[in-house]
Structure 1
Amino acid sequence: MKKVLLAGVAAAGLLASGAVAFAADLPSRRVAPVAPVVVPIFTWTGFYVGVNAGYGWNTNSNKGYVDPYTGIVYGTDSSDGGFVGGGQIGYNYQFGQFVAGLEADIQYADMNSSNNNNYVVAPYAGYASAGGNGVEWFGTVRARLGFAVDRALIFVTGGFAYGGGNNGNGTYYNGAFISNSDSTTTGWTVGGGVEYAFTDNLTAKIEGLYVNLGNNGNNSSYVWNNAYSGNNSDDTEFGVVRAGLNYKFNGF
């Protein structure tokens, strides 16, 4: 009986080892690994072009002049604002989370200011108004430096500015004549803003600029009884708040 049991155990062992060997010889079913999905990292690097529109207002510092010969008092300030709009072109380069770039823009502007002039010349006393240092167009060439948080960019900007307007108005009053001249002037600008990339190519921004064009060449001369009496000059300063839309070219 013991021999029969031992023979059965041996046979079972042989069958089990044979089954294991047969299973090892079968082809294995290996599932191919799934490649990880890599989301492209957005970069601000590239050329771009765009348009903008907003509001600008004069902050002119007009230098008043009191002529000791005639008694004319010239130059009270006024601040008038209006629409500004235009286009821009630029290039950004991103390194880490910092973005450096260069941008140039050209703008139409509807900012006209008037200078009010009071004078007292015996036996006359009165009030006269003359066209002031308005801004009809301007442009800037600026450096930009920003800090990027993924698709959001906070930046500061500053650089060269230029512009001009039509200041050739004059008024006669009680025999006094005030004449004005205009010219294109240059100066500087500084500002900042925030920009956001809605897609890899389309970005929108809001920015503010302070522009100082220096003396605008609006030199007003006063003539009383055909006698030259004095000059006055004005500075051209204004602020701008605008929104812009840019298209960024990839692959540059």
Structure 2
Amino acid sequence: MPQETVFSCTDFNTLLDTYLPKLGSVQRTRVLEAAAIAFYHQQRDWPVVQALVCDDAPQFKLLTDDLALCWVDEGRHYKKLSPLVAYHQQALDKFLDDFWDYYRELLTYRDFPSAEVARELKSKFWKLFDTKSGYEQLDERKRLTVAKASELLLVLEHPELPLHNNPAELAARTMVQRRNVSYATQTTEGTQAWDTFMSLVATTRKLEISFFEYMRDRISQIRAIPSLAQVIREKSSLIPLGWSWQLESLPTPNY
């Protein structure tokens, strides 16, 4: 295929039809996804996100250089365990207490990060999740958590990262609830209008702007409320996101 060339969706599909006519639908989807991700990382029109905080769903893999997993979502896996034996119930209760105690220590670390505390928390992680409890299902679940240690502990390297992605989860849930109540839309235009207004509602709420006042301001063309993009830029400038990555990019002093 031609290199250093931007293809439209139609052009790329034509190339796939020409060179890989027997490609199955699933494999074709994977090729399209990989091409889209590769293009996203090399384009310069939009900032490329360095880190993503999400659950462990496979569709988030390779989207960003760094991936941080949601601790709340990880805790839900343990809440799903239903031990019948009293000893196992006690082991699970004790582990959950320790799990959330450790979570609270991570929250404290985000406010007061230090290399020494980071080493202590990393050691505590292995002690918490690598210790056998005697409850086989709990120990198996802990082994699965250990396999994701680097993603769960990314906050020790980058303390500005949140420990969960609940705001994003709740925003998506609002759309799902709306769809369930109204049984979706009937046309493409309706879907686009729906998505636009749901996005505006969620964005104005996060920015602490009245959605009603915002819509009245735009319909009346008074324009007293600045653009949401401008408000986002102003608010984000006050949050030191990315400072730990900036430290990594600084040259090492030559003493």
TM-score range, shorter chain: under 0.3
| TM-score, normalised with respect to structure 1 | 0.19
Name the larger-Rg structure: 1
* Greater strand fraction, Structure 1 or Structure 2: 1
| TM-score, normalised with respect to structure 2 | 0.19
> Which structure carries more relative contact order (alpha carbon 8 Å, separation 6+)?
1
